[in-house]
């Protein structure tokens, strides 16, 4: 028996599927940041648990960077990867100079200074590209730390793009995505700020395909 679904039903299926992926992505990147910070605590005794308050925002930087390091430097252990990724990202979210100096000192002590320099350059490049993207979308920030609070969108940009193409009602889409992301419990931005950002992203994506 053949089943035929309407275009609106197809859009609903796509939207529901992508909505679930958004929740999964938020959970996944939050787990990545927690694992990295826990590794550094358990192996090197360096407590950076404060960074967990950034939730998916810091995970948005750590997750893609961790994947890149694992692909480019397979000789590193998982704990070395965690130390280097934390070292490359911590400065964007934390300004305690003494603790950061201790973290970098441990990297040097472990003989990972050259690897760290490469990873730091990669992290800086990702940060600059992300900043330029925010500016192009029309999202303005007053400081580096404010900019990095939006980094949770890095791993979900493709999903947001697909959603923007599938939805007929932009207002309903903004509400749907905003509620789903806030429900993940990993956001450090307010609902109003989040909805404004989603609106600008969707407007940008939809304009590109017209």
The answer to whether position 74 is within a domain reads yes
User: Residue 136 and residue 125: Cα distance in Å, rounded?
Assistant: 17
**Residue 121 Cα to chain centre, angstroms:** 18
DSSP designation for 189: S
Is the torsion defined by CA of 127, 83, 38, 143 positive or negative? Answer: negative
The answer to whether position 18 is within a domain reads yes
The answer to whether position 51 is within a domain reads yes
Residue in 127, 109, 116, 130 with CA at minimum distance from that of residue 86: 116
pLDDT band at 13; cut points 50, 70, 90: very low
CA-based radius of gyration for the chain? 19
Which pLDDT score is estimated for 39? Answer: 96
pLDDT tens digits, one per residue of 140-180: 777 778 888 888 888 878 777 777 776 565 676 677 677 76
The answer to whether position 2 is within a domain reads no
Q: Which domain holds residue 118?
A: 7-208
User: Residue 32 and residue 2: Cα distance in Å, rounded?
Assistant: 43
DSSP 108-134: HHTT-HHHHHHHHHHHHHHHHHHHHHH
User: Residue 12 and residue 138: Cα distance in Å, rounded?
Assistant: 29
Is the torsion defined by CA of 141, 146, 147, 149 positive or negative? Answer: negative
The answer to whether position 1 is within a domain reads no
User: Residue 175 and residue 14: Cα distance in Å, rounded?
Assistant: 16
Mean pLDDT, residues 111-120 taken together: 97
Which pLDDT score is estimated for 159? Answer: 75
pLDDT band at 19; cut points 50, 70, 90: low
The answer to whether position 115 is within a domain reads yes
pLDDT tens digits, one per residue of 186-206: 666 777 777 788 788 877 777
pLDDT band at 6; cut points 50, 70, 90: very low
The H or E element spanning position 76 is none
pLDDT tens digits, one per residue of 26-73: 778 888 999 999 999 999 999 999 898 888 889 889 999 999 999 999
Mean pLDDT, residues 125-141 taken together: 85
Number of domains the chain contains: 1
User: Exposed, middle or buried by CB within 10 Å (0-12, 13-18, 19+), for 49?
Assistant: exposed
For the cut 60, the answer to whether the pLDDT of residue 17 exceeds it is no
pTM of the entire structure?
0.81
**Residue 106 Cα to chain centre, angstroms:** 26
The answer to whether position 53 is within a domain reads yes
**102 contacts: CB under 8 Å, gap ≥ 6:** 46
């Amino acid at each position: 028996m053949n089943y035929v679904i309407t275009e609106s039903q197809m859009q609903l299926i796509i939207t529901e599927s992508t909505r679930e992926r958004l929740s999964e992505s938020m959970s996944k990147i939050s787990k990545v940041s927690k694992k990295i910070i826990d590794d550094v605590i358990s192996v090197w005794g360096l407590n950076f648990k404060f960074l967990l308050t950034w939730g998916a925002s810091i995970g948005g930087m750590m997750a893609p960077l961790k994947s890149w390091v694992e692909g480019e430097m397979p000789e590193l252990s998982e704990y070395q990867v965690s130390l280097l990724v934390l070292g490359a990202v911590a400065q964007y979210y934390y300004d305690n100079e003494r603790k950061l100096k201790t973290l970098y000192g441990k990297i040097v002590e472990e003989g990972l200074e050259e690897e760290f320099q490469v990873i730091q350059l990669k992290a800086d490049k990702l940060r600059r590209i992300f900043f330029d993207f925010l500016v192009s979308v029309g999202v303005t920030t007053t400081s580096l730390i404010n900019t990095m609070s939006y980094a949770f969108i890095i791993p979900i940009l493709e999903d947001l793009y697909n959603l923007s193409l599938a939805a007929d009602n932009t207002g309903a889409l903004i509400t749907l995505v905003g509620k789903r992301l806030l429900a993940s419990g990993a956001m450090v931005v307010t609902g109003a700020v989040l909805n404004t950002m989603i609106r600008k992203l969707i407007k940008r994506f939809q304009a590109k395909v017209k």
